[in-house]
């Protein structure tokens, strides 16, 4: 029996997936037909939706035989609270996305640890060496798939890594903390803080003025997660005391040219490139989940929507 899949994302996204998604489904042995929103399909005939939260598809009520929605992005904050969606929702977790995040985080942690900026910008001769990694504590806020991979890599390089998340995690070489007291301990003990929690209602403005004040003088903040995790006004107020902020995600993207982050001497802006979904590997992740669903097996990377739905 043919599985009918709706690709509910932009035409630009479909151009990137047009060949790789069918190939991945063929490799999984899933007989399929893929349609797009442009084809105006009958919603009652759709088994699976491959979805971007920016999609015009917002009402899932007519999709009466829907088995699941497979997000193209890691972030699900724009769809998880949608009450018309009653089918399972899976976030995008794929090896290339994880590897990209590990490389960005490791690169910028090492950049700040080795104090590369002052040499790149031509500081006066100063032969004082930076400390070794073992003397540079790092806090990883968020220990999901991406945070755990980054924390494990940094621990492998010798950094003392303290992780903070909603529940205890067990990652080799990483100390795991939870709760408000754990967050304060993680922030106050670190010289470099990496922000990789998901964006939910409970993590909105996670780093507000009070919590930024818990960070050490001269500490560095990296945010490759979500822009809404930081109270921007509070961060700008705290920057004279902090060492630097390297930011990859923002509330408005592209970041407006008049935003004060662009010109601040203690801020580095990167254009949301820490980790992006790569069609080849993402298509394999989607196809694997559809194949599992068609075999009656549990889907991978399911989103717990209870908090989002309770808040609506």
List the domains of the chain with CATH numbers. 3-94+277-311 (3.40.50.720), 96-269 (3.40.50.720)
- Work out the pLDDT band at 75, boundaries 50, 70, 90: confident
Percent of the chain whose predicted confidence (pLDDT) is above 70: 99
- Work out the pLDDT band at 201, boundaries 50, 70, 90: confident
- On the question of pLDDT at 275 being above 90, the answer is no
- Alpha-carbon 311 to chain mean position: 22
Mean predicted confidence (pLDDT) in 193-210: 94
**CB count in 10 Å sphere of residue 94:** 21
The DSSP symbol for 227 reads: G
pLDDT of residue 53: 84
| Contact between 138 and 161 (Cβ < 8 Å) | yes
| Contact between 72 and 7 (Cβ < 8 Å) | no
pLDDT in tens, 282-294: 999 999 999 999 9
- Alpha-carbon 145 to chain mean position: 9
Q: How far apart are the first and last CA of the chain?
A: 38
Catalytic (active-site) positions: 226, 272
The DSSP symbol for 230 reads: B
DSSP labels, 38-99: GG---GGG-SEEEE-TTSS----TT-TT--EEEESSS--TTTTT-TT--S-EE----HHHHH
Cβ density class 285-305: b for 16+ within 10 Å, e for less: bbbbbbbbbbeeeebebebeb
């Amino acid at each position: 029996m043919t599985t009918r899949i709706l690709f509910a994302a932009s035409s630009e996204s479909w151009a990137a997936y047009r060949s790789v998604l069918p190939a991945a489904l063929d490799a999984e042995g899933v007989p399929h037909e893929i349609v797009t929103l442009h084809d105006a399909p009958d919603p009652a005939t759709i088994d699976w939706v491959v979805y971007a939260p920016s999609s015009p598809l917002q009402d899932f009520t007519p999709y009466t035989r829907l088995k699941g929605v497979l997000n193209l992005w890691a972030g699900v904050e724009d769809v998880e609270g949608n009450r018309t969606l009653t089918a399972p929702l899976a976030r995008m977790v794929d090896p290339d996305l994880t590897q990209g995040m590990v490389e960005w985080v490791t690169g910028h942690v090492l950049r700040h640890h080795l104090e590369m900026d002052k040499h790149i910008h031509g500081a006066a001769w100063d032969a004082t060496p930076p400390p070794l990694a073992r003397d540079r504590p790092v806090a990883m806020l968020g220990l999901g798939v991406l945070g755990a991979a980054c924390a494990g890599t940094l621990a492998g390089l010798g950094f003392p890594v303290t992780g903070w998340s909603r529940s205890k995690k067990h990652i080799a070489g990483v100390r795991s903390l939870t709760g408000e007291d754990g967050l304060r301990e993680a922030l106050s003990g670190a010289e470099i803080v990496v922000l990789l929690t998901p964006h939910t209602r409970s993590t909105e403005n996670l780093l507000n003025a009070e919590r930024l004040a818990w960070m050490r003088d001269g500490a560095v903040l990296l945010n490759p997660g979500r822009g809404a995790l930081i109270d921007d006004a509070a961060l700008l107020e705290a920057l004279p005391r902090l060492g630097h902020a390297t930011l990859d995600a923002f509330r408005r993207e592209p970041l407006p040219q008049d935003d004060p982050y662009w010109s601040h001497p203690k801020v580095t802006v990167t254009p949301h490139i820490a980790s992006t979904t790569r069609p080849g590997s993402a298509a394999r992740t989607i196809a694997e989940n559809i194949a599992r669903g068609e075999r009656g097996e549990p889907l991978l990377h399911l989103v717990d929507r209870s908090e989002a739905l309770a808040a609506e």
